[in-house]
Structure 1
Amino acid sequence: MTQSQRSVRIERVSAGRYVAHNERGATIPLGGDDEFSPVELLLAAIGGCTAVDTDVATTRRTEPDSFTITVQGDKISDRDTGNRMEDLTVTFAVRFPEGAAGDAARAMLPRTVALSHDKLCTVSRTVELGTPVRTVIE
């Protein structure tokens, strides 16, 4: 087993608006009416993780004509157990060109998606396996 730490820093911009920063200098605004919500970022992380795994593998054969992943689920507000997401679904709509290279990419798509889901995608694996989240106040 190998382990490497990852982190993001979130800063308040104004009431209900924040910016997430990574160690490489990239930023993502969140909150507010025009930005991603934290739940949408979670869905994007799940889809983005498996998109990267799948894209890297299939584009070794050919570039897709289209590549769209939709992630959706039900947000549950429960007085006893708290808020959470349920029934998460990741839907792939990937089209490859006609021909031998497209056929090869299409053939490997189900296996690549399954490998990402079952082993490679850190985000969905963490969600499915569950992990404690500890909070600290400095």
Structure 2
Amino acid sequence: MSVTVRRVGEGRFVARTANGATVEVGGDGFSPVQLLEAALAACAAMTAEQLITRRGGSDFAVIATGTQSAHELSSVDIAFDLPADEPLATIVPRAVARECKVSRTVEHGAPVTVRLNG
């Protein structure tokens, strides 16, 4: 499950999965921080989708908003565009905390190793 990122121009890159899906990074595409925000929101949405649709909310949006300090992304707020529903307000955050690998990885600070192949 690797992603390959290739430079396609000055400050422009394309990320590609093994099955050929792509996303543009830099230039007019996503910034790396926006990709992280999107990954967090998408993971939360995919985790909660069945819980939400089962209660009748088949069309919903998820908004991820990051707070940045001068040098890093210091927090990310993930909001579901849904009516306040007490059971969902309790169940969805608990499910995301338990099941979303992206948010768990960020929250637990997985180490990142950078190396040169060659």
Question: Scaled by the length of structure 2, what TM-score is found?
Answer: 0.87
Does 2:7 correspond to 1:12?
A: yes
Deviation at 1:48, TM superposition (A): 0.4
Unmatched segments (≥5 aa) in structure 1: 1-5, 78-82, 96-105
Q: Which has the larger radius of gyration?
A: 1
Deviation at 1:26, TM superposition (A): 0.5
- Alpha-carbon distance between aligned partners in 1 of 2:75 and 2:82, rounded to the nearest angstrom: 22
Q: Give the partner amino acid of 1:46.
A: L
Alignment length (residue pairs): 117
Deviation at 1:116, TM superposition (A): 3.0
Deviation at 1:117, TM superposition (A): 3.0
Aligned to 1:122: 101
Does 2:87 correspond to 1:93?
A: no
Question: Scaled by the length of structure 1, what TM-score is found?
Answer: 0.75
Unmatched segments (≥5 aa) in structure 2: none
- Alpha-carbon distance between aligned partners in 1 of 2:6 and 2:91, rounded to the nearest angstrom: 36
CA deviations 1:85-137 (Å, max 9, x no partner) are 11321111125xxxxxxxxxx45422432223321011111111111100110
SS at match of 1:59: helix
- Alpha-carbon distance between aligned partners in 2 of 1:108 and 1:24, rounded to the nearest angstrom: 38
Q: 1:43 aligns with which of 30, 37, 53?
A: 37
Contact 1:54-1:109 within 8 A present in 2 as well: no
Identity rate of aligned residues, in percent?
36
SS at match of 1:131: coil
Aligned to 2:114: 135
- Alpha-carbon distance between aligned partners in 1 of 2:48 and 2:91, rounded to the nearest angstrom: 6
Contact 1:53-1:112 within 8 A present in 2 as well: no
- Alpha-carbon distance between aligned partners in 1 of 2:10 and 2:95, rounded to the nearest angstrom: 37
CA deviations 1:52-94 (Å, max 9, x no partner) are 1111222234343x411111122222xxxxx211132111112
User: Cα RMSD (Å) of the superposition?
Assistant: 1.9
